[in-house]
Chain A
Amino acid sequence: GAGVSQSPSNKVTEKGKDVELRCDPISGHTALYWYRQSLGQGLEFLIYFQGNSAPDKSGLPSDRFSAERTGGSVSTLTIQRTQQEDSAVYLCASSQGGPYGYTFGSGTRLTVV
């Protein structure tokens, strides 16, 4: 596609439920990243996929968070047993590899009530 697409754009969930956030990167981009931005805060790195290499999961805050990338394209970020502190905007970005500009999606605003 023309840009990075994320869905849903907004998600309200009850505490304790599981949620899945989806990211469609730009076609041909080999690298995909997930970041989290809490209200009024900077961007916190979560996980990074590069081609067929093992993902860099060093930013995942707890074992309730996981992500996968199928077929080197679409990625899903899953948060199990959501907590109120998980409320944030979750941003996905992709790049074509190498130090080129990363293109970010519009994000998914997650609210845990």
Chain B
Amino acid sequence: AQKVTQAQTEISVVEKEDVTLDCVYETRDTTYYLFWYKQPPSGELVFLIRRNSFDEQNEISGRYSWNFQKSTSSFNFTITASQVVDSAVYFCALSGGIQGAQKLVFGQGTRLTINP
């Protein structure tokens, strides 16, 4: 069975601090995909990133970066110099299998609050 664990239920930091959101996953598939989504107060889920299991390169997009480590089954997300607009619930998700477009299994989410 596939499982995604986001152990941090809530995180609160002061603006401009760096913050890392943890994600640990379990799967028996050798090919799988990992995702991060942002859910701002408006409620829509916003796609942030997708990684496949064969690509362990870290990725950076502006203030966002992702650290994928198969050895620890983790896919952590770091926001550098956080801003109030980063306040949201962040979900890590996993999709497995070579067909790719299978159901996403989500973690429980981490509520991030950035205080001015």
Contacts and interface: CB of A to CB of B under 8 A. Distances in A.
Interface of A: 30-31, 33, 35, 41-43, 45, 48, 50, 56, 59, 89, 91, 93, 95-104, 106-107
Interface residue tally on B, bucketed by range:
20 to 34
Contacts of B95: 99
Given A43-B91, A89-B43, A106-B43, A99 B104 contact: no
Contact of A99 (B37, B43, B45, B101): B101
Interface string B24-53: 000000000101010000011101001010
B103 A45 contact: yes
A96 B50 CA distance: 14
Contacts of B50: 99-101
A31 B95 CA distance: 13
Given A42-B109, A48-B102, A99 B52 contact: yes
A43 B43 CA distance: 12
Nearest to A31: B101
Nearest to A48: B103
